[in-house]
Amino acid sequence: MRILHAPDSVLHDPSNYVRRGETVPHPEKAARYHLLLDAARNAGHAVERAGDHGIEPIAAVHTQGHIEFFRTAWSRRDEWPTKSDEIFTGHFARPQMHRRPEGFLGLVGYHTADTSTPIRAGTWAAIYGSAQAAISAADAALADGRAYALCRPPGHHAYAESAGGFCYLNNAAIAARRLQSKRGGKIAIVDIDVHHGNGTQGIFYEDPTVLTISIHADTSNYFPFYSGYADETGTGAGSGFNLNLPLQHGLGDGPFVAAIEQAMARVAAYEPNALVVALGLDASEHDPIGALRVTTQGFADAARTIARGKLPTVLVQEGGYLSDVLATNLTQFLAAFDA
């Protein structure tokens, strides 16, 4: 399988964030890029640097304000009161308090939803490169039937104008719009990251031409908390085109793969022209921030279940954090997908 990646991914390497009330080391480290890339290369896949397709495919998903904010944020750091290698705020816009302010201090909290998406000198280059990997992989999937985008930073918690949950630009959503612009018609997104794909859901919530499905650990006491429930089914023209399949914490391969089977049955009924898989690997039993107990065999079964759909497919890396099995889970997923 072709593996599309962007070396600029490593230019963003966050230090700490607030998790469950505590400041802890940030798990979305640049080391993930090297580990996943080496794993794919050692497994014999064709590793390719992503092309530069410009801002237009990103602007198909994100607002101009969001893009300009992150593109220029580091160059505005003289507007930030403290000098450190990271900009992040404690002020966040709320649903009833959502004016986009002019000043930089307020803009940081307008375009981020939590403490996990700091801005560093290399953040824009890294998130732009990560999005380009998704775009290049979409093109590769239309040419070859499938491709893997090694996206880092990840994307599925990012909304049209809000970063959050380690995510800045929604790579899976960008890939979906790229597929749609090249191939036309309907696109499906199946998100198997252990966290609800809230940003992706939000981006397409009123859109019947992109079916969004997320399988994740129940969010009633787990990030992202404020969405991910089974009664969120879309709105307006998008009614009926969002499906959430929350799983009780601690469940393993059987229920995880069964939920993916249910998702793929819905995808088949929808008859899309292509599929995006938001491929988080943090449902792993060994993931440091996960809440499910999926084994390497479970990920291989998941891959076979998705591949049986026989759709042009872009696999977009989402979460999945450093552990002894992260590399193996990726290579076994890719091997099973291709078999």
Q: CB nearest ligand Q9C: which residue?
A: 319
Buried b (16+ CB within 10 A) or exposed e, 157-171: bbbebbbbbbbbbbb
Q: Are 189 and 279 in contact (CB under 8 A)?
A: no
Residue 118 engages Zn ion in binding (rule: CB under 5 A):
no
Assess 287 for contact with ligand Q9C (CB under 6 A): no
User: For residue 147, what is the enclosing H or E element?
Assistant: strand 146-149
Q: Quote the least distance from Cβ 279 to ligand Q9C, whole Å.
A: 11
116's tokens: 């996990």
Residues near ligand Q9C (CB under 6 A), total: 18
Question: 48 with 81: CB under 8 angstroms?
Answer: no
Q: What is the crossing angle of helices 296-307 and 326-338, to 10°?
A: 30
User: Measured between alpha carbons, how far apart are the two ends of the chain, in Å?
Assistant: 11
Decide the pairing of beta strands 22-25 and 210-217: unpaired
What does 251 bind: Zn ion, ligand Q9C, none (CB cut-off 5 to 8 Å by kind)?
none
Query: Of the ranges 91-99, 162-170, 171-179, 298-306, which one interacts with ligand Q9C (CB under 6 A)?
Result: 162-170
**139: nearest Cα among 212, 59, 48:** 48
- 239/49 Cα distance (integer angstroms): 38
Choose the stretch contacting ligand Q9C; rule: CB under 6 A; options: 135-143, 161-169, 183-191, 324-332. 161-169
**Segment interacting with ligand Q9C, rule: CB under 6 A, options 17-25, 123-131, 136-144, 308-316:** 17-25
Based on the shown chain and the rule CB under 6 A, indicate whether residue 193 belongs to the binding site for ligand Q9C.
yes
Which residue in the set 166, 168, 204, 270 belongs to the binding site for ligand Q9C (CB under 6 A)? 166
Site map 270..299 versus Zn ion, x via CB under 5 A? ----------x-x-----------------
Q: Which of 9, 112, 116, 180 binds ligand Q9C (CB under 6 A)?
A: 116
Active-site residue flag, 157:
yes
Which positions are annotated as active-site residues? 157
